């Protein structure tokens, strides 16, 4: 279970001390990554220097309404600061306009800058119809992204099992699906993984693992 979890802290009020605590927890439970805002990439990288926990950060967060050039510059800066994975918010307005060429170019640019590092595309499913979710998945796949992700955690809703199943069905088998937003318990995590999620973005990783330890002797 632990390697499914991106241990997440994206609150505006987060401090360096909070991020270091997050990293210590990630080391203790051997999570896949910590996910932090760009200002804390270097802090997290240093705190994780003797571990195999990755540093994930966000691009175009949380609205996705930045220009594609600004997202590309964010990606460059993030990698220079030590990011291992990039979770980018696609341009939701362009998706609603059916401007799929724009979306594909935007994502392709981030993927190219990442140079093999994992890129996850956040759809913010709470704002989308099923048709829009499917088209977003197709754009992410065409552009070479490695994952599609449900939510930022800052929209009007988070991950749902239905959305994870829909996304899983509309990306190639080699692509991942990340469920994020509202996954706080071991039972939740297990349900999302069964629905097709390969990664769980949550601030509740410690609670999930503590529950697993209690129930299954982890």
Known catalytic residues are 87, 149, 178
Q: Strands 5-9 and 199-202: what pairing?
A: parallel
Distance from chain centroid for Cα 52 = 18
Distance separating alpha carbons of residues 186 and 27, to the nearest angstrom: 19
43: β partners: none
- How far apart, in whole angstroms, are the C-alpha atoms of residue 31 and residue 1? 9
CB-count exposure of residue 13 (10 Å: 0-12, 13-18, 19+): exposed
């Amino acid at each position: 279970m632990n390697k499914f979890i991106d241990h997440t802290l994206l609150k505006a009020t987060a401090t360096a001390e909070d991020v270091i605590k997050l990293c210590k927890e990630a080391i203790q439970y051997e999570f896949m990554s910590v996910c932090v805002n760009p200002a804390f990439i270097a802090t997290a990288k240093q705190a994780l220097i003797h571990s195999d926990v990755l540093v994930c950060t966000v691009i175009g967060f949380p609205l996705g309404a930045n220009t594609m050039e600004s997202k590309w510059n964010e990606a460059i800066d993030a990698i220079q600061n030590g990011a291992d994975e990039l979770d980018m918010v696609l341009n939701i307005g362009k998706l609603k306009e059916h401007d799929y060429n724009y979306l594909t170019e935007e994502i392709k640019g981030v993927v190219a800058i990442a140079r093999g590092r994992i890129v996850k595309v956040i759809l913010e499913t709470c704002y989308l119809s099923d048709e829009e979710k499917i088209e977003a998945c197709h754009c992410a796949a065409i552009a070479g992204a490695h994952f599609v992700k449900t939510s930022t955690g800052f929209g009007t809703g988070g991950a749902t099992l239905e959305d994870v199943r829909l996304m899983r069905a509309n990306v190639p088998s080699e692509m991942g699906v990340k469920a994020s937003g509202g996954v706080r318990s071991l039972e939740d995590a297990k349900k999302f993984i069964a629905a097709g999620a390969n990664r769980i973005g949550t601030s509740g990783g410690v609670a999930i693992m503590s529950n697993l330890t209690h129930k299954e002797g982890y």
